[in-house]
Amino acid sequence: MRRTVRIPLPTAREIALAAALAAAAALPVVRTWHLQWGADEDELAATLPGDALQPAPALVATRAVTVRATPERVWPWLVQIGQGRGGFYSYDALENAFGCRIVSAGRVVARWQHLAPGDEVRLHPRVALRVVEAEPGRWIVLRSPDEGAPAFTWSFVLRPGRDRTTRVVVRERYAAPTPFVRAVLEPTAAASAVMTRGMLRGLRRRVEETA
């Protein structure tokens, strides 16, 4: 006579525990993915404009995308970013849910084609970053307005690629001078990953459609 072997089904508690363990195990992978989305090894290791402004960051994110156009064609779209300017080419509805009042441009606008050190690039009507460097056709470096050691730097670098393409590399460097800042750093970087990914894709689409 055959004996039927009954395999006990996992309980709801065991399923929840397994799911929690799987999620915990995946966190380092997810964190690495969102901090390095699209960037290759050379870009992750490269010293980029703006790095020296925050020489000992608590967290660094480097993300990148390839655009099928030359840096000269990408630059007019990049230089006009900002609230009250060309927007960020990302998720306007999500940004506007927080009162940002952003409308991402669908064309290059002449009056937004100039940035110089000391200019402001706004994230929100009440939140602005300062331009530290703006090298036409090559890079823009922004930082939080704190004097001395800035809490945050944001660099956009255009690197010529193969076959007349451009690598758009975006780097964020965060300081964590207080326990509160350290506590919010990871969720801030995760939220930034979503918006930056949307921004890079939106920038690429606009450039390639008009190139």
Q: For residue 200, how many other CB atoms are within 10 A of its CB?
A: 23
Residues in the chain: 211
Alpha helices per DSSP H over the chain: 12-35, 41-45, 71-78, 92-96, 179-210
Residue 26 is assigned to a structural domain of this protein: no
pLDDT digits (tens, 9 = 90+) for 89-134: 999 999 999 999 999 999 999 999 999 999 999 999 999 999 999 9
The per-residue pLDDT for 170 is: 98
Q: What is the CA radius of gyration of the chain?
A: 21
pLDDT digits (tens, 9 = 90+) for 133-191: 999 999 999 999 865 455 899 999 999 999 999 999 999 999 987 888 788 888 888 89
pTM of the model: 0.85
**102: in domain:** yes
Whether 124 maps to a domain, the answer reads yes
Closest listed residue to residue 81, CA positions, set 211, 202, 209: 202
> 171 forms bridges with which residues in the sheet?
62, 155
Q: Which among 92, 28, 60 has a CA at the least distance from the CA of 193? A: 60
In a domain, 157, yes or no: yes
Q: For residue 34, which amino acid is it?
A: H
Phi and psi for 186 in degrees, rounded to 5?
-65, -50
**In this structure, is the dihedral angle defined by the CA atoms of residues 86, 92, 96 and 98, taken in order, positive or negative?**
negative
Q: What is the CATH number of the domain that holds 94?
A: 3.30.530.20
What tokens does 26 get? 């995946």
What residues are paired with 127 via a beta bridge?
A: 124
| 19 found inside a domain | no
Q: Which domain holds residue 158?
A: 35-210
Region 13-30: mean pLDDT is 65
Structurally, the chain folds into a number of domains equal to 1
Residue 9 covered by a domain? no
Q: Is residue 28 situated within a structural domain?
A: no
Residue 151: CA atoms inside 13 Å, Cβ hemisphere, count? 13
CB 207 within 8 A of CB 104: no
Structural domain includes residue 23 = no
The mean pLDDT value for 6-33 works out to: 66
For 59, what's the count of Cα atoms within 13 Å in the CB-facing half-sphere? Answer: 24
Rounded CA gap, 110 and 155, in Å? 22
